[in-house]
Amino acid sequence: PLGKFLKKFVGPVNVRVARKEDKLKVKDEYNNYRDRAAYMFLLFPSTLLLLRWWVWDGCLPALAVQVYQAWLLFLYTSFALRENVLLVNGSDIRPWWIYHHYLAMLMALVSLTWEIKGQPDCSSKQRGVQLFLRWAIMQGIAMHLQNRYQRQRLRTRIALGKAKRMDVVAGETAGVEGQLLLLYPVLFVLQGFEAYVGVLLLQTAWHGLTSEWQVIVCGILLVVMAVGNFVNTVETLALKLRFKAKMKRTRHRQDPGQGGPDRLHQN
């Protein structure tokens, strides 16, 4: 059945694709879109922060920040729409990541109404915005690592017959150890920084430095998303570790240890 979110945007239209080749095109386009979004996540906030120092005398203009927030709203809405279409067509996507994009859409929409204050004392007034842009750069790096890792592990799972070609993300999987050692620490640092930015926004409201309701809402949403991301990342890591332990036990049963009783008996 068509999800409520999808119905609100496209109406009672059948978005289920009949041909397998067309389904794979939908999934490949989603993956390509994620790649392009990762580049923009790096480029957009990096450009704003550089221009802040070189052109804007340390003070971000309101229009530039609002254009960025409008782009975030468009990005997360398109992510949510594409993922709902993939779900309808049989892809395996964890529900939390779609809910995460709903929350991110809400935060982007709220932040569009947030007054971006300038001089005097611009650096202090815009500290939350600056931290958020730095977090967005980290998010772009993490997205690059995730996209590369998830594509490699999904190819492995498909080759082993443990995933369908329409699947996008799965928890238990074989992967590339070197990338995992880099990916998970980056994700945990990113989630911690996201929560820190959220708490910082809440503190500014608590201490009376700002009276805008948008600050409180965005702070709460950032903390909720950080906690949800952390819980789901830990669950994914636990599933992977259990899967690896199961595979190791299976290999031991199929291939008894060298030099053990079975080997001695054969000699």
* Segment 7-62, tens digit of pLDDT: 777 666 667 777 777 777 878 888 888 888 888 888 999 999 899 888 887 788 88
Q: Report the chain's C-alpha Rg in angstroms.
A: 23
Contact 40, 121 (CB under 8 A): no
Q: pTM higher than 0.95 for the full model?
A: no
157, 159, 163, 169 alpha-carbon torsion, rounded to 10°:
40
Q: Which amino acid is at 238?
A: A
Q: Find out whether 129 and 60 touch, Cβ atoms under 8 Å.
A: yes
pLDDT band at 264 (very low <50, low <70, confident <90, very high): very low
Q: Which helix (H) or strand (E) holds 130?
A: helix 127-159
CA dist 169 to 14, 43, 104, 153, 172, Å? Answer: 24, 25, 20, 9, 10
Give the other-Cβ count within 10 Å of 125's Cβ.
18
